[in-house]
Amino acid sequence: MAQILAASPTCQMRVTKPSSIASSKLWSSVMVKQKKQSRSTSFRVMALQSDNSTINRVESLLNLDTKPFTDRIIAEYIWIGGSGIDLRSKSRTLEKPVEDPSELPKWNYDGSSTGQAPGEDSEVILYPQAIFRDPFRGGNNILVICDTYTPAGEPIPTNKRAKAAEIFSNKKVNDEVPWFGIEQEYTLLQPNVNWPLGWPVGAYPGPQGPYYCGVGAEKSWGRDISDAHYKACLYAGINISGTNGEVMPGQWEFQVGPSVGIEAGDHVWCARYLLERITEQAGVVLTLDPKPIDGDWNGAGCHTNYSTKSMREEGGFEVIKKAILNLSLRHMEHISAYGEGNERRLTGKHETASIDQFSWGVANRGCSIRVGRDTEKKGKGYLEDRRPASNMDPYIVTSLLAETTLLWEPTLEAEALAAQKLSLNV
């Protein structure tokens, strides 16, 4: 993960000229193979129960290039639903291509149908915030990340982006140019049975060991989905930096970053949307549950790598240690915001720290906060917060890290006690 915080961050908030990716070829090629009690099942992208001619006719319409006939484009407005983790979207026609969210109209939806407003006053307003290219429709069509407001212009309770944007616009935070590299783990499940992809239904594969970054039909299940998602993110303009198979079979990870400030949350949410759409097309279920399978199996996290300008400069290790001290003093506040069900994952086993106890260490994946060997050697760099669950909200986690390390000041007494307890000389 170190590499995603090593390069200069780039902003992908504006739409540039689309690349020549043939999105139709990409989606029609996705095939997920799984073993189910010694039988092979294939999930095709098109979930149509019909003959090939019908499928071909539908695909030909999906692949139509409208540019020679009209300047009008399709904008897919995307927002976070009432659970705080579900994604919703709907489409609208725009008269011409756009390059900046400020050119887009606000829109509304029925918040009573998403658990975000009462039926008698159900209108919720969508504010466009970030634009990405649409890898499903291609052309000049776009995906639009939105946040949500009342008709009076107040953020609704599930709108966590608004508060995050306020924190990142603070001059003290902005001057420190906070970088984030987010490692999103996820698990693929067989439909109907809610059991990991590739696993025999109701039974288990061999123990963990050969699956992490594994290659081969007996070790890797779901690679086509991971690869399709990778290319879709690159096409869209998401700052994706890598992907790999995880420790538990059927579990994968992608990394986003380095991203600056609020951009990190926008890019992760858009990447999640693409993954939801791809698994929808492939007929596979996506879950961000932090502990999808009980027992001797790794959970799913969303480790968040973080650095500030001062951490990346000479003497930065001392700044990192001061940040760790602050994080230790607000441990439970962070835990409460780091994802639902995280207590099932943070047990002190399977490369996690105990949820009740804060810890830090160099190259120690069993700690709350890990510092890399390279950071220790160079005396500058970044820290990795290993506590966030896979279902965390990146707007909350990134802004809380910035708030705790840059804006919040502990009492001198509390700071001294924490430094002694953690063996931090700051």
pLDDT digits (tens, 9 = 90+) for 379-416: 999 999 999 999 999 999 999 999 999 999 988 877 78
Sheet containing strand 123-133, edge to edge, reads: 87-94, 73-80, 142-149, 123-133, 107-110
107-134 in b/e burial notation, b at 16+ Cβ within 10 A? bebebbebebbeeeeeebbbbbbbbbbb
Task: Please give the structure tokens belonging to residue 5.
Answer: 């915080």
CB neighbours (10 Å) of residue 174? Answer: 15
pLDDT at residue 53 in the model: 78
Mean pLDDT is lowest, of 9-18, 237-246, 342-351, 361-370, for 9-18
Q: Is the pLDDT of residue 44 over 60?
A: no
Residue 4 has pLDDT above 80, yes or no: no
Q: Helix (H, G, I), strand (E, B), or coil: what is residue 392?
A: coil
Crossing angle between the packed helical segments 316-329 and 412-422, to the nearest 10 degrees: 110
pLDDT for 51 equals 66
The predicted-structure confidence for 48-62, as pLDDT tens digits, reads as follows 455 677 778 888 999
Q: Which helix (H) or strand (E) holds 370?
A: strand 369-371
Taking the mean position of all CA atoms in its chain, how far away is CA 142? 19
Name the CA radius of gyration of the chain, rounded.
22
CB within 8 Å of 399: residues ≥ 6 apart: 163, 164, 167, 168, 265
Distance of CA 289 to the CA centre of its chain: 13
Distance from C-alpha of 293 to C-alpha of 46, rounded to nearest angstrom: 29
> Taking Cα atoms as reference points, which of 224, 66, 222 lies closest to residue 134?
66
Tokens 């990716």 correspond to: 21
Per-residue confidence (pLDDT) for residue 309, from 0 to 100: 98
The CA dihedral of 113, 114, 118, 124, to the nearest 10 degrees, is: -100
Is pLDDT at 326 greater than 80 in this prediction? Answer: yes
Peptide bond into 258 cis (omega under 30): yes
Helix (H, G, I), strand (E, B) or coil at 48: coil
pTM: 0.87
For residue 418, the model assigns a pLDDT of 76
pLDDT > 70 in the chain, percent: 88
Supply the pLDDT for residue 422.
78
One-letter amino acid of 310:
S
- Pairwise CA distance, residues 369 & 361, whole Å: 7
pLDDT of residue 297: 97
Q: Where are the beta strands (DSSP E) in 20-72?
A: 31-36, 39-44
Q: Give the ranges where 223-262 is alpha helix by DSSP (H).
A: 223-236
- Cβ-proximal residues to 323 (8 Å cutoff; 6+ apart), any chain: 308, 311, 383, 404, 405
Residue 54 to residue 163: CA distance in whole angstroms:
48
CA gap 178, 7 in Å, rounded: 13
What are the two backbone dihedrals, phi and then psi, of residue 136, each rounded to the nearest 5 degrees?
-85, -40
Q: How far is Cα 124 from Cα 108, in angstroms, rounded to an integer? A: 5
Contact 262, 270 (CB under 8 A): no
Q: Evaluate whether 173 touches 167 at the Cβ level (below 8 Å).
A: yes
pLDDT at 415: 79
Percentage of the chain modeled with pLDDT above 90? 81
d(CA 387, CA 368): 6
Q: Which amino acid appears at position 376 of this protein?
A: E
Distance CA 117, CA 126 (A): 13
Give the chain's count of helices (H) and strands (E). Answer: 12, 16
Q: What angle do CA 312, 313, 315 make, to 5 degrees?
A: 110
